[in-house]
Amino acid sequence: MEDIYKELTQIVGAAYVSNQPEERFIYSRDPGTMEPREPDYVVLPATTDEVQKIVLLANRKKVPLVPMGGGLVLSGLSRALKGGIVLDLKRMNRILEVNERSRYALVEAGTSQGMLQAYLKKNYPTLKHSVPDSPPMATIGGNVLIHGSGHLSHAAGFHSEMLNGLEVVLPTGEVVKIGSCSTSPYWFGRAPLPDLAGLFLGWFGTTGVVTKLAIKLYPNRPYQDVGVFVTEDPELVPEVFYQATGVQVAEDITAWMTPKPDWAKGFQHININYAADTPEELIWKRNLIRASLKRLIGQKVGGFLPLPPPMKKNFLEAPQTTLAQFADVRKGGGFEYVGGIMPIDLFPRAYRAGIEIAARQGTTYSTGARIIGLAHCMMFFFAYPFNRADESDVDRARRALEETNRAVLNMGGIPWKAEAPAQKQIIGRMDPHTLGLITRVRSMLDPQGIMNPGNWEVR
Amino acid sequence: MEFADILHRCFRCGYCKFPNNYQDFNCPSYSKFRFETYSPGGRMWLLRAWLNGEMKTSPRLAEILFSCATCGNCVEHCVFPKFKDDILHAFLAAREEMVNRGTVPPAVRDYLKALQIHGNPYKLPASERGNWEHGLNLESYSGQEYLFHAGCVGSLDERGMKMARSVAGLLKGLGVSFGVLGADENCDGNEARSLGEKGVFQSLVEQNIREFQKRDVKKVMTLSPHAYHAFKNDYPKDSHPFEVFHYTQVLAMQAKKLSALPAHSPLRVTYHDPCYLGRHNKEYQAPRKVLKSISGLQLMEMGRVKENAFCCGGGGGNFFTDLLGSGPESPARARVREAVDTGASVLAVACPNCAKMLEDAVKAENLEGKIAVKEISEIIQEKA
């Protein structure tokens, strides 16, 4: 053990390695419900070269390696389930290139969402990236690799679909480039080559350590607005999504359902965010969106909510800081949710399941959804705030999450960034040949089994 | 421990690490150390574990706790109303707990010991407290409008003394009515308070109040924003009410006179907000008003200013204990790099701690040819 510590200090410097109880404690847990799992070391590399040396060391010593970004996944994916080294990548946060004309940014994987957002605002004000609603500490790398979504997901899909290329340190130590950057000096995309990015997307760090990535950027239009369509009938919501996405003028479409405050109870609120280069264009887009829902408005089964300016301001914010307050309803510092990726048709079923599970677990429901693409699917979330100081409340949330994961799978959805127990639920339903392929790919890439073991495992 | 009941409420969401535009890490200790443990959220969770018995007292835990610069960025940017108001209070309560248990880092122990024995952290006799004013012919306080408080750094540190002389000289030149206490001046105790030593702080409060009462002081003008903060917010005003001013606020009242001074060659200046003047007391305008009154001066703001300013790393006792240390990632060095990026040739300061921290950082970064750290009155008088 002492040898490993010494070698790690030689790689990154003594200031950036710890085997102390304080770091082992903090890095053993996240704000979600998963039980703590202590790493033996926490290491903060600053370069790809350092990551490579750490991977080679881990290979030699057969020590597990757990890559970590912002640590905000909530489902415990960066806990060291089998001990070993947690690699906190947030020192790797340089913004390496912005190609304005080809609209992409090349960043180190530990770059935070907030820093890229600020950098673009200052240096390329006409460009933006799709910002998730996680706090600004979430990293670009982490969010892309878990198939995150955000404020441009209606326009452009999952964040993993906005990925142009990767630099990855493989579990055996080779540094590989994925996408156009493997062949060209440009990081413009993944086509027309064999697409190897899938070897690293959604694998929770079990196939390598991503050190750099390029993501697509989009126009940052100066005029922004949001309309909130409200209906009391959950059965109508898929139709609302279908119609509103069909006109293809919004950037982001989200839904939220909560019994608190009182005026919100029983309603499905659908936020439609759109932006324009001129006031005229904004009005034109507003009219198109309203026209798409005209039939429902005419039938008096739904309509647009008049928005007080403070509420509109909150809804236009990216990330929405009020969502953090929304997570604080139990005043207990604990929050986790199941994000079920599923077809939009399942909205009414998911909504009802959310209410039923919350009632069974003795809590208030708090659900919502984000549309991915042109309503190609949605991320439907079931949120469970809890009080960390009350173990029975933590247990209640844990039970609710487990039940929700099962419900999502039963209705045909798949839990997003699933906790280790939910991964087992998913694996239990997976086509055996798919699972076999996953296992073979993983064995081939990581023959020593050092990468984030305990995740996506059959046993 | 006081405020123990709020520790579990932190989500560790990390808003507290940033300024409002998220351009860079804005928590000095997290920015320097980069382990989650050194962030406000990490501290919250560790303290809870410590109080629950899950975490033992250790030198590292003490370093984590005492490396907080008490800059207030976390309070400013935490997104949870009400809870945020007590974040720093909880850290100070934990420091007090460690002081009481005798488990503080050696540098903190040495600071508090020196303050207790000598009345100042420099271990110098009280008789030397008035040395800074030699040759200025300042009046001893005897009912003038203001009592000018130089503080420990202004009275006993070489850089601080230079600043105190400059400020007092300018005030005198402008005809401001003030007097000084010289060797009779006491430490304001702000650093003792922020290091969790309530007993020493209370004793200094009593000494100062007694002195103010004896001399019937109505208005105190401080050199240091740290003293300004303590006098204004933490001193009882019931037995002897007094108003508190930072010297930049008094200079701002003299802006017309300052504007009338002869213009100098064009000067590009950026200004560093001291945390205890800015974020803690919301005084952002007075220093800027003074700077803008100087003809020929162009104020070039950094990205992180006012409530988003990045601390020099000298707050919360760290000016003396140096737990945030040196190295390229130290807050002061990061701050002077940011200042250079504005294109300014002068980094203006309004705090003796900031002056020294940033001046040392300029040297460490080899930026001496590019930028000079100057206190506001120094800029005015150089020009004039």
**Which H, E and C letters describe chain A, residue by residue?**
CHHHHHHHHHHHCHHHEECCHHHHHHCCCCCCCCCCCCCCEEECCCCHHHHHHHHHHHHHHCCCEEEECCCCCCCCCCCCECECEEEEHHHCCCEEEEECCCCEEEEECCCEHHHHHHHHHHHCCCEECCCCCCCCCCEHHHHHHCCCCCCCHHHHCCHHHHEEEEEEECCCCCEEEEEHHHCCCCCCCCCCCCCCHHHCCCCCCCCCEEEEEEEECEECCCEEEEEEEEECCHHHHHHHHHHHHHCCCEEEEEEEECCCCHHHCCCEEEEEEEEECCHHHHHHHHHHHHHHCHHHHHCCCEEECCCCHHHHHHHHCCCCCHHHHHCCCCCCEEEEEEEEEECHHHHHHHHHHHHHHHHHCCCCCCEEEEEECCCCEEEEEEEEEEECCCHHHHHHHHHHHHHHHHHHHHHCCEEECCCHHHHHHHHHHCCHHHHHHHHHHHHHHCCCCCECCCCCCCC
Chain A residue with Cα closest to B303: A122
- Tokens for B187, please give them: 């430490």
Put simply, the answer to whether B42 touches A88 (Cβ < 8 Å) is: no
What does the alpha-carbon distance between residue A15 and residue B229 come to, in Å, rounded to a whole number?
34
Please indicate whether, in this complex, the C-beta atoms of A20 and B18 are within 8 angstroms of each other: no
Q: What is the pLDDT of residue B110?
A: 97
Q: Do A136 and B14 touch (CB under 8 A)?
A: yes
Contact B52/A at CB under 8 A:
no
Q: Is the pLDDT of residue A260 over 90?
A: no
Asked if B12 reaches chain A (Cβ–Cβ under 8 Å), the answer is: yes
CB B226 within 8 A of CB B260: no
Tokens found for residue A322 = 């009020």
pLDDT at residue number B384: 59
Domain boundaries, chain A: 2-90, 92-219, 222-418
For the domain with range A222-418, which CATH number is right: 3.30.300.160, 3.50.50.60, 3.40.462.10, 3.90.550.10? 3.40.462.10
How far does Cα A284 stand from its chain's mean position?
A: 32
Give the alpha-carbon dihedral of A168, A174, A175, A178, to 10 degrees: -60
pLDDT of the residue at A449: 97
pLDDT at site B383: 63
Per-residue pLDDT band for A365 (boundaries 50, 70, 90) equals: confident
B14 vs A: CB within 8 A: yes
Per-position pLDDT tens, chain B of length 384:
999 999 999 999 999 999 999 999 999 999 999 999 999 999 999 999 999 999 999 999 999 999 999 999 999 999 999 999 999 999 999 999 999 999 999 999 999 999 999 999 999 999 999 999 999 999 999 999 999 999 999 999 999 999 999 999 999 999 999 999 999 999 999 999 999 999 999 999 999 999 999 999 999 999 999 999 999 999 998 989 999 999 999 999 999 999 999 887 899 999 999 999 999 999 999 999 999 999 999 999 999 999 999 999 999 999 999 999 789 999 999 999 999 999 999 999 999 999 999 999 999 999 999 999 999 999 999 865
Mean pLDDT of chain A: 96
Torsion of CA B209, B212, B218, B223, to 10 degrees: -90
Distance to chain B for A283, nearest Cα, Å: 29
Give the Cα separation of A51 and A138 in Å (integer): 20
Partner residue opposite B36 with nearest CB, options A26, A328, A389: A26
B91 exposure class (CB count in 10 Å sphere: 0-12, 13-18, 19+): buried
- B364 contacts: CB under 8 Å, gap ≥ 6: B326, B333
Pick the range with the lowest mean pLDDT from A86-100, A320-334, B361-375: A320-334
Partner-chain residue, chosen from A25, A90, A115, that has the shortest CB–CB distance to B34 = A90
A387 contacts B11? CB cut-off 8 A: no
Coil, strand or helix: which one is B243? strand
**What is the pLDDT at residue A330?**
87
C-alpha distances out from residue B274 to A49, B121, B297, B323, Å: 39, 21, 20, 19
Quote the minimal CA–CA distance from B275 to chain A in Å: 23
What average pLDDT score do residues A206-235 get?
Answer: 98
**Contact between A257 and A267 (Cβ < 8 Å):** yes
Of B60, B69, B70, nearest in space to B98 by CA: B60
* B34·A18 Cβ contact <8 A: no
The token duo for A174 is: 């080779």
Contact state of A25 with B46 under an 8 Å Cβ cutoff: yes
Q: Kindly provide the ipTM of the predicted complex, given to two decimals.
A: 0.96
Q: How far apart are CA A419 and CA A397, in angstroms?
A: 13
Largest CA distance in chain B: 65
The beta-carbon neighbor of A22 closest among B23, B34, B55 is B55
- Count of pairs with CB atoms under 8 A, one residue in A, one in B: 105
What the block records as the tokens of A5 is 């510590």
Q: Note the pLDDT of residue B217.
A: 97
Whether the CB-CB separation of A377 and A160 falls below 8 Å is answered with no
Question: What is the C-alpha to C-alpha distance for residues B374 and B359, in angstroms, rounded to an integer?
Answer: 9
Q: What residues have CB less than 8 Å from A221, skipping those under 6 apart?
A: A275, A276, A277
Q: Which domains, ranges and CATH numbers included, belong to chain B?
A: 4-104 (no CATH), 110-252 (no CATH), 258-383 (3.40.50.10700)
High-pLDDT (> 90) share of chain A, %: 94
Q: Do A324 and B11 touch (CB under 8 A)?
A: yes
Which of chain B's residues have a Cβ under 8 Å away from the Cβ of A387?
8
Instruction: Say if residue A150's pLDDT is above 70.
Output: yes
pTM for the full model?
A: 0.96
Q: Which of B11, B39, B46, B73 to mutate to test the interface with A (most CBs of A within 10 A)?
A: B11
Does A1 have pLDDT greater than 80? no
Q: Which CATH architecture has domain A92-219?
A: 2-Layer Sandwich (3.30)
Domain A2-90 has CATH 3.40.50.970: no
pLDDT (0 to 100) of residue A329: 85
DSSP tag of B140: B
